[in-house]
Structure 1
Amino acid sequence: PSIRWPLFLSVLAMFLQQFSGINCVMFYFHTIFETAGFKTATQLYMASLLVSGIQVVFTAVSCLLIDRTGRRVLLGFSGGVMALSMVAFGLYFQLTYAGHKAIEVTVPVLVKPTFPGNLNWLALSSMMVYIVAFSLGLGPIPWVLMAELIPLRGRAKCGGLVTTFNLFFAFITTKEFQDLVKATSSQATFWMFGGVCATIILYAVFLLPETKGRTLEEIEQHFQRH
């Protein structure tokens, strides 16, 4: 039990990380910036630097907060904010485009707007908030949990297995994103990602033990008792 349950929690954390839609959002942010008026190559380059810079800064902030707030609080907060951001992102497509089925990752889709106002600010703000929340919690914490939950005697094999699952989940979401959008719609796809983000709160509250301030031996004993 001291290895099986930590391994399950670590794999589940990687599942939630990848199926939150982070890769799909990152692949699509060029199109969002283009529709918001960033047309030139220089503007898009600066937008890419902005997104990358936000990830670096808030991942560093997460390092400062993780031992103050605890893993569960920061992870639950991250999941909740990401869920709201995905709802807003899907709402952007719902209000803006009619019959919008397919997202082209590299080329903007030109369809007739159905909302009388310009809602590009909604897409931009929701995407940026999503990336900030991911960088604060769901991005770094699953890797921290893998190192803390799995005992030393099983860390080599289990760590490799967890990393393999993480890359496998990333492959699945990347490969099936376009097909999922075509089968449903852009807004439905991002709302599904939002649903996965919401389950992160349940994971943090009901399944994940708090490891803040506990030694590796104390964490292992916790799982041995359960």
Structure 2
Amino acid sequence: MALAGGKEVLLVGRLVVGIAVGLSSMAVPMYVSESAPVAIRGRLVTLTASIITLGALVASLVCGALSDVGEGWRWMLGLGAAPAALQLIGFTFMPETPRFLVSRGRNEQARQVLRRLRGDGAHVQHEYETIKADFDAQEALLREKAAAGGATRRALLAGCCLQMFQQVSGVNTVVYYSASIITLAGVRDASTAIWLSSITNLLSFLAKFVGLALVERAGRRPILLWSALGSAMALLLLGAGFQVSASASPADLAAGPVNGSCLPIVSSYNSSAAAGRCADAAALGVDGLTWAPDWCPTDYAWLPITGMFFYITLYSPGLGAMPWTITSEIFPLWARSTCISITTAVNWFFNLLVSLTFLTLTHAITRQGTFYLFCGCTAAGLAVFFMAVPETRGVRLEEMPALFSQPWGLHAPRRAPADRPKLQPYDNEAYDPS
């Protein structure tokens, strides 16, 4: 992409990178959850989401530094090859997951990998036997055509809802269009908008550590629900910020110096002389007219920007991280790869849908209307999560089908947390799942 001589080559490069990111977003959480000890599984999967956000922060800072460089976009894209090359080298030294090896009959290799992952002196026999017994039981059920598919379908529905509502909350309009939102709010300088957008990535990175600190203490479900509630309120503030800006914006000079509002017309402006309705200041009798094709001068530009910052801070620890953590845990071994692939595809489909329609929506229902719509979607997601998503903290992967066999909306643990032995990160003998 950095060496592209035209838009066609650049587009092909973007497609290749998109396929690669899609594959990794499916494989990485699954790999981590299958390899991690149960006591720190959620923390490790959440950590991967935090580090992804760190990468986005670094990328935004690099883009800000290169924003005034001639053809800086080539450097922005080309520098991404460095971390990808480091990953390629590092991944060659990583073993397959023990659960995958068991599913392929490579039992002794699975024991060796468990010893390698848990460290010298760890008692891995009980963990290995639990994995093996669960796989054998599932194989027997499948052979008898009596597998408990209902629990798996419930888990798949919950996973798809988690990934769908993560996207229809509008997060990628903030991630992808943060500089555009800042410009739409009234910040005119492009370089300044890019630097301000890096604050969004910084807040996302810092907020994810809240989820990282609480995921094994408070649990996945409370973090998810509170984050969804906070995100809906922040989106309401973001929409209200644009609405206040619209009411306080200068007049629509196309209809006369005092008639109409700036915001509804700038979204349809074209900066060409033929279509620019405010291009001829002398004809309108207005001095000092400023052409604003995609922003609106207002004293309230800080309101939508503040709403955006609140949104990303409240979204990141729960709605941003927990869907990946939960969907990496809830599927049985025989269906895990397929189900995680499906939920990841749902995520990227709605990512694409929201990203493609964002600018169209701002034209059709105004900027404030678009964020009110995202607020409503997030509130709907909160209701769905309350009914369909159970708490998975401290539940072994082999126990998940029983968890999703409970009635809808009943998510109390089968045993109170106080009755469960306290698990240490590498304690494979402390908890008897029977």
Regarding TM over 0.5, the answer is yes
Cα gap change, 1:152 to 1:99, in 2 (>3 Å): farther
**Which residue identity does 1:74 align to in structure 2?**
I
Cα gap change, 1:218 to 1:103, in 2 (>3 Å): farther
Distance in 2, matches of 1:11 and 1:195, equals: 18
Cα gap change, 1:10 to 1:103, in 2 (>3 Å): farther
Cα gap change, 1:103 to 1:167, in 2 (>3 Å): farther
Q: Quick check: 1:81 aligned with 2:230?
A: yes
Q: 2:294 aligns with which of 109, 132, 137?
A: 109
The alpha carbon displacement at 1:185 in A equals 1.5
Aligned to 2:277: none
Q: 1:172 aligns with which of 341, 348, 353?
A: 353
The alpha carbon displacement at 1:209 in A equals 1.0
CA contact 2:236–2:372 (8 Å) conserved in 1 = yes
The alpha carbon displacement at 1:82 in A equals 0.9
Q: 2:318 aligns with which of 118, 137, 162?
A: 137
Cα gap change, 1:103 to 1:150, in 2 (>3 Å): farther
Cα gap change, 1:192 to 1:8, in 2 (>3 Å): same
Q: Quick check: 1:51 aligned with 2:51?
A: no
Q: Quick check: 1:217 aligned with 2:367?
A: no
After TM superposition, list the pairs within 5 Å mapping 1:28-67 onto structure 2.
28-34=177-183, 35=185, 37=187, 39=189, 41=191, 43-67=192-216
The alpha carbon displacement at 1:37 in A equals 4.6
Cα gap change, 1:46 to 1:94, in 2 (>3 Å): closer
Distance in 1, matches of 2:306 and 2:296, equals: 21
Q: Quick check: 1:11 aligned with 2:174?
A: no
Give the alignment's Cα RMSD to 1 decimal: 2.3
The alpha carbon displacement at 1:9 in A equals 0.5
CA contact 1:103–1:181 (8 Å) conserved in 2 = no
Q: Quick check: 1:193 aligned with 2:374?
A: yes
Higher RCO structure, 1 or 2 (CA under 8 Å, sep 6+): 1
The alpha carbon displacement at 1:112 in A equals 6.3
Distance in 2, matches of 1:72 and 1:103, equals: 43
Aligned to 1:100: 263
| 3-state secondary structure, aligned to 1:68 | coil
Cα gap change, 1:108 to 1:85, in 2 (>3 Å): farther
Gaps of 5+ in 2: 1-149, 247-260, 270-291, 408-434
| Greater fraction helix | 1
Count residues with an aligned counterpart. 219
CA contact 1:80–1:198 (8 Å) conserved in 2 = yes
The alpha carbon displacement at 1:143 in A equals 0.8
Cα gap change, 1:48 to 1:60, in 2 (>3 Å): same
Cα gap change, 1:108 to 1:82, in 2 (>3 Å): farther
The alpha carbon displacement at 1:53 in A equals 2.0
Distance in 1, matches of 2:196 and 2:406, equals: 50
Cα gap change, 1:108 to 1:31, in 2 (>3 Å): farther
The alpha carbon displacement at 1:187 in A equals 1.0
**Which residue identity does 2:263 align to in structure 1?**
H
| 3-state secondary structure, aligned to 1:100 | helix
Gaps of 5+ in 1: none
The alpha carbon displacement at 1:100 in A equals 3.0
Taking every aligned residue pair, what percent have the same amino acid on both sides?
28
The alpha carbon displacement at 1:217 in A equals 2.8
1:9-38: CA deviation from partner (whole Å, max 9, x where unpaired):
101111101100011122332134445657
**Which residue identity does 2:384 align to in structure 1?**
Y
More displaced, 91-100 or 135-144? Answer: 91-100
